[in-house]
Amino acid sequence: MSAGQDRPRLRVVHVIDSLAGSGGAENRLVDEVMALTPRFDQRVVRLFERDFFDVPLADAGVPVTALGFRAATAGRSWPVIAHRLWRELRGDPPDVIHTSLFTGNLVGQLAGARLGVPVVSTFNRTGELDLQRALQPGVSSWKGRTMQAIGRRVARLGDVHYRAVGDYARATNCKAMGLPLDACTAVPRGVRIDPASVGAASRGPFDVPADGPLFANVARLVPEKAQHLLVEAFARVRATVPDAHLAIAGDAGPALPTVQAAIERTGLAGAVSLLGFRSDARALVAVADVFAFSSVSEGSPGAVVEAMVLGTPVAAFAIPPVAELTHGDEHAWLAPPGDPGALAEAMLAAWQAPDRKERAAATQRWAAATYSLGAVAGRLGDLLEDRVRAHAGGTTPR
């Protein structure tokens, strides 16, 4: 149900760990907040240091409150953060709190329970705990397991409903947390991209060769993105296409040494560019011949959606969230997860397919309609309104 023009505007507070420009969850939340400005009175509360989007939000009329905590201490300071958030909101409680990322979910749920307002929290990742523990050592530590247990307990204190970024994220997180499926609603992430506004189709700003096929990847260098497997796959691509080049745009993270070692081991120092964080990463994808995505764990990879909307063929590992976003191999060339040889074959197929341009154009039209930010934000807005109405009526989602 869409908001009527004569209906009082709901007051929505969005709580998120940070507003880092390199974070997919942060970028998507900001897009959604911007899209919902005609519908709700909104504010954003940022818990930690990174503030890339503070000014654009304020310019759009959405105030940002920074609580000023340090992300490195979140594991022990979350009770203080939750109390501070409650103090921040108690003078003028919102109608609903919308939260994103782990600490944002945790402290937002605690504050919501004390304020007596409903909370919609976001499952940004899948609930494959064993895989996450294997990829992220902190998750498998006793501290990580304790925090997960605390999160499950806190979620039951107040009126909490979840928004998952996909059907697979919904099913696996509900299973992991012992929740019924009706405690969560799947609302995908939308994107707002005008391909014509991305910039001129030039490789010049990225200092990559002007000729030869260009393969691009956009992701932070963290274990779950598995760019070392992408480098191994690209080495096999180069054996067939010697003038190919790979450009990876993304913040340096804990996997940087592993990626650098893979480049050295395969002798690709002159053929792989590590560009770091780029605010113009969409322009890189737009000029690339293939978007190559090697993640082995995701929630809903917005970079894949952006590549499809930009009209760049996608080659990726067929992890469930990617297969869900691309309708299997209908809108991408997919490979069994974790297999560099198969990923190389998918990358070559995406480059060499005789109908690649026609297929990419069809995918672009489909993705632009399916993941339209306006439509997706509308679904999120409906969910927020539904939760306020259910809370006022004394009903809960489970």
Query: In angstroms, how far is CA 193 from the centroid of its own chain?
Result: 16
CA 202 from chain centre, in angstroms, equals 27
Amino acid 82: pLDDT: 95
For the stretch 150-189, pLDDT in tens is 666 777 788 999 999 999 999 999 998 889 999 999 999 8
The predicted structure's pLDDT at residue 46? 94
Structure tokens at 398: 């489970």
Banded pLDDT at 1 (limits 50, 70, 90): very low
d(CA 218, CA 275): 10
Task: Say whether pLDDT at 3 is over 50.
Answer: no
Average predicted confidence (pLDDT) for the chain = 89
Least confident of 20-29, 251-260, 380-389: 20-29
Residue with tokens 């880092």: 20
Q: Which residue has the tokens 């592993």?
A: 258
86-to-54, 109, 311, 396 alpha-carbon distances in Å: 21, 10, 45, 22
pLDDT tens across 11-20, in order? 999 999 998 8
Domain with CATH 3.40.50.2000 in the chain: 11-190+372-392, 195-370
- The predicted-structure confidence for 240-282, as pLDDT tens digits, reads as follows 999 999 999 999 999 999 999 999 999 999 999 999 999 899 9
Of 54-68, 71-85, 127-141, 162-176, least confident by mean pLDDT is 127-141
> Closest Cα partner for 102 from 150, 65, 157, 142?
150
Give the architecture-level CATH label for domain 11-190+372-392.
Answer: 3-Layer(aba) Sandwich (3.40)
pLDDT given at position 133 = 59
Pick among 3.30.530.20, 3.40.1390.20, 1.10.3720.10, 3.40.50.2000: CATH of 195-370:
3.40.50.2000
Amino acid (1-letter code) at residue 311: G
Structure tokens that stand for 44 in this block: 């954003």
Please give the sequence-ordered ranges of beta strands (E in DSSP) within the chain, or none if there are none: 11-16, 41-46, 64-66, 96-100, 119-123, 160-164, 184-186, 214-218, 245-249, 272-276, 290-293, 314-317, 333-335
Per-residue pLDDT tens digits for 99-136: 999 899 999 999 999 999 999 999 988 877 666 656 66
359 C-beta neighbours (distance < 10 Å), count: 17
Least confident of 68-72, 208-212, 352-356: 68-72
Alpha-carbon gap, residue 136 to 138, rounded angstroms: 5
Query: In 3D, which of 96, 128, 129 has the Cα closest to residue 111?
Result: 96
Closest CA to 135 of 344, 319, 380: 319
3-state secondary structure at position 51: strand
Q: Tell me which residue has tokens 């969005």.
A: 14
314 pLDDT band, cuts 50/70/90, is: very high
Residues 6+ apart with CB under 8 A from 117: 93, 94, 95, 96, 97, 159, 391
pTM here? 0.84
